[in-house]
Homo-oligomer: A and B are copies of this chain.
Amino acid sequence: MNYKDELLKAHKRILPFIHKTPVLTSTLLNEISEATLFFKCENFQKMGAFKMRGALNAILQLTETQKNKGVVTHSSGNFAQAIALSAKLLGVKAFIVMPKNAPKVKKDAVLSYGGTIIESDSTPIARELKADEVVKEKGATFIHPSNDIPVIIGQGTAALELLKNQPDIETIIAPVGGGGLLSGTALATNFFGNNCKAYAGEPDEANDAFRSLKSGKIEINTTTNTIADGLRTQLGSNTFPIIQKYVSEIICVSEDEILTAMKLIWERLKIVVEPSSAVAFAAILKRKEIFKNKKVGVILSGGNVDLTNLPF
C-alpha cells in the first residue's frame, strides 16, 4: 500500500466533514519540558476526538450498496460516537455494539447522534460475536475501532495536518491504546516529516504495546486499571507491524504522572482534555532527555470527560 498517497487521499476525502483543529503553544509548558511543544488539539475535533477522522475515512470508502446496509462497530468510547456521527452526516445507518453496563452518558451520546445501540455482555469476545451477528443479520459492514486500515489512515491525518503547519517538527508523540492513532501518526511522521521521529506514551497500567515492542509479538494487557480509559485496548494485526516499523520508542507513565500532566494542560493551555490525551505529554516530562531542545508535536487525542467525575 502506498501510505503517502493514501494519507493525502484520506485527508482530502474527510476535509469537508472535519474541523481543521488548532495547534496551541505555551511558553510555560515549553519551559517545564525544555522543548518547543506544538499541541494538536483534537479535543476540538467534531464529537470531541480524533476518532472522527478514521470513522469518516472508513465510511466514505464504502460502496453505495454497503452504505445502504449500514455499518457496525463495537466500542463504548469515542469510536462509538465517531461512527454514529459520521454515519449520520453521510446518511448511513450505524449499529453500535455496547456492553450492557456501559455508562448512560456514553449510550446517550451515541443515541444523540442517531446511532442504534445493540447491547452485549462486556467481554471482548461477547462484543465481537454480537458484532458478527449484526454483520450477518443486517448485512452491515464491520469497522474495527483501531485495526481497520482506512481507520488507521484517517487517524494519521491529524499528524499530517500538524506537519503541514509546522514542517520543522523533529518528533511527534501520541498516546497508544489499540494503536490506530499511533500507527496512523507514525505513518504520517515517516512519510511527511523531515527526519521526524514518532514516539508514544502508554500507561504503565495498560502497557501491552510497550511489551509487544520488546517481545516482538502482540502481548495482552494484564491490567487495564488506568484513568486513561481510551488506552485500555490492545494492539492488532495491522497496527502492531506499523508501530514496530515506524515508532522509535514507547514511554510508559504512571497514573500520577498522567494526572500531573493532565492538570498542567488544563491549567496552562486552558483546555479540557481527557486523561488519554495527557499520556503523551506525561511521557515527554518523564523522558525529557529525548525531547530536550527539540520541536515536538503532541497529539491531544480528545476532550470527552465526565465533568462530574474529575480526578483533581
By the criterion of a CB under 8 Å from any partner CB, how many residues of chain A are at the interface?
17
From residue A272, how far is it (CB to closest CB) to chain B in Å?
4
Besides the contacts A24-B44, A270-B271, A271-B272, what 5 more A-B pairs have beta carbons closer than 8 Å? Answer: A43-B270, A266-B307, A267-B272, A270-B303, A310-B312
Given known contacts A22-B22, A263-B307, A307-B263, A270 and B48 CB-to-CB distance under 8 angstroms: yes
Cβ contact within 8 Å between A270 and B272: yes
* Contact indicator per residue, chain A 259-274, by CB within 8 Å of chain B (1) or not (0): 0000100110011110
Residue A123 at the chain B interface, CB threshold 8 Å:
no
- Bound complex: CA A280 to CA B24 (Å): 25
This chain: how many copies in the complex?
A: 2
Residue A308 at the chain B interface, CB threshold 8 Å:
yes
Cβ contact within 8 Å between B44 and A270: yes
Cβ contact within 8 Å between B267 and A307: yes
State which residues 18-53 of A face B: CB under 8 Å: 22, 24, 43-44, 48
Given known contacts A270-B44, A272-B271, A312 and B308 CB-to-CB distance under 8 angstroms: yes
A262's nearest neighbour on chain B, judged by CB, is: B307
- Bound complex: CA A280 to CA B37 (Å): 33
Residues of B within 8 A of A271 (CB): 270-272
